[in-house]
Chain A
């Protein structure tokens, strides 16, 4: 079974609809992240969380909200979807390295969202 799972894998919705993307992990990591990927722009960070009580905005948080329901679950919501939120969305997890430095991130398979 995959360590980081995302649901749904594909979603088509209409402008103005509320959408929730879910992420679950079995790696036991405290840190979780949401990114969006757009052609030519790479990955941009939307929100990140270092534990259940910690939520931080990334570089493009406007129009999005998140919920960390448990260590293993981190959901991304679009309260009122708009067409320029059409993108590929990735969840990732990580933990600190033994020396307190940065450790690699593990990515889910992505959710392709289309807003019409």
Chain B
């Protein structure tokens, strides 16, 4: 079945460092891909998405490119801030677009 694999955390960085969080997927057909972010004590919120191959999603300085050839959707940011500390979830929409399949989440900790 469809699945999402994320790198394990926590990822610990200093402020202004470059961030990469890896995400790969297995899916039937051509799913849409998402990154959600969960700040402490809150629910998840959509960070960015891409709906077809080679699309780049971007928001708040974060970017991810839908790579069909490597079945990947890695999240990147050029310069992280302390306020980016959160848990990041990669997800895909299953066949039939009826539900999301989430990865296990990657905790990011950014220190001043």
Which residues of A are at the interface with B, using a C-beta cutoff of 8 A? 4, 33, 40-45, 48, 50, 56, 58, 90, 92, 96, 100-102, 104-110
* B66 at interface by CB-CB < 8 Å: no
Residue total for B at the interface (Cβ-Cβ under 8 A): 20
Q: In the bound complex, do residue A107 and residue B43 qualify as a contact, i.e. CB atoms below 8 Å apart? A: yes
B43–A108 touching, CB < 8 Å: yes
> Are A101 and B32 in contact (CB-based, < 8 A)?
yes
Chain B: minimal CB distance from A98 (Å): 12
Give Cα distance in the complex from A45 to B1, angstroms. 15
Alpha-carbon gap, A104 to B100, bound state (A):
9
Chain B window 46-64, contacts with chain A (Cβ cutoff 8 Å), 1 for yes, 0 for no: 1001010000000000000
Q: Are A42 and B104 in contact (CB under 8 A)?
A: yes
Within 8 A of A (CB), among B61-112: 89, 93, 97-100, 102-105
Question: With A and B bound together, what is the CA distance between A45 and B103 in angstroms?
Answer: 12
Give the docked Cα–Cα distance between A100 and B51 (Å). 12
